[in-house]
Structure 1
Amino acid sequence: MSKFIKEGGVVLKSTGLVRKVDELGRVVIPIELRRNLGIEEKDALEIYVNGEQIILQKYEPACIFCGNADSVTNYKNKIVCKECIDNLNSAS
């Protein structure tokens, strides 16, 4: 039976998996979860804190101007979306 908890209007589903923190502070994310969530070796994860909760989310770079994560490109070591690039080009 799945366990659900409600946190700030969001329903979280328990995986039933428990892992211990090792002496270096590491936690292994089980392969089943990594496969289901599309997390590959060397992928970056963002770490959020909500009260006493730690939330891991697959990192997706977003535009430094608008926060959009679609159609982004690296311009002079900054992530910028196509729409903002078009806006910058039309402003000059």
Structure 2
Amino acid sequence: MKSTGIIRKVDELGRVVIPIELRRSLGIEEKDELEIYVEEDKIVLKKHKQNKTCMITGKQSNENVVLANGKIVLSHDGAKQLLDEIQNAFSIKTE
């Protein structure tokens, strides 16, 4: 792990400011989501990348669609396959 020599204090609400130089170098913008996790005795912040893996086909793509408040991720092929299965399971006929 590379040391930056930058030290920040935690405020009364538990917040720490990430210096602009680090945000710029890591591509972290205002309103970006960060994952927070612990590795041994370290707190790690990582820019969150939404998992856009289709639940049906397993295909990962930024073109996949996220539905139901993030509970369902579908690719075009996965959506078609799911639609076919739903129509068959519920005996829905398309005209």
How would you bin the TM-score normalised by the shorter chain? 0.5 to 0.7
* Percentage of pairs with the same residue: 51
Question: How far has the Cα of 1:45 moved from its partner?
Answer: 0.6
Query: Is 2:58 aligned against 1:61?
Result: no
Aligned with residue 47 of structure 1, among 17, 36, 44: 36
Name the structure with the higher strand share: 1
Q: How many residues align?
A: 78
Which runs of no fewer than 5 residues in structure 1 stay unpaired?
Answer: 1-11
Aligned with residue 86 of structure 1, among 60, 77, 83: 77
Task: Report SS of the residue matched to 2:16.
Answer: coil
Quick one: structure 1 residues 16 and 67, their matched pair in 2 at CA, closer, same or farther if it must change by over 3 Å? farther
Quick one: structure 1 residues 67 and 46, their matched pair in 2 at CA, closer, same or farther if it must change by over 3 Å? farther
Quick one: structure 1 residues 67 and 61, their matched pair in 2 at CA, closer, same or farther if it must change by over 3 Å? farther
Q: Which has the larger radius of gyration?
A: 2
Tell which has more relative contact order, 1 or 2 (C-alpha 8 A, sep 6+).
Answer: 2
The 5 Å alignment of 1:18-33 reads: 18-33=7-22
Q: Is the 8 A contact 2:52 2:66 kept in 1?
A: no
Which runs of no fewer than 5 residues in structure 2 stay unpaired?
Answer: 86-95
Aligned with residue 75 of structure 1, among 54, 67, 71: 67
- RMSD of aligned residue pairs (Cα, Å): 2.4
Q: Supply the AA of the counterpart residue of 1:90.
A: Q
**Which is worse superposed, 47-56 or 58-67?**
58-67
Q: Supply the AA of the counterpart residue of 1:38.
A: G
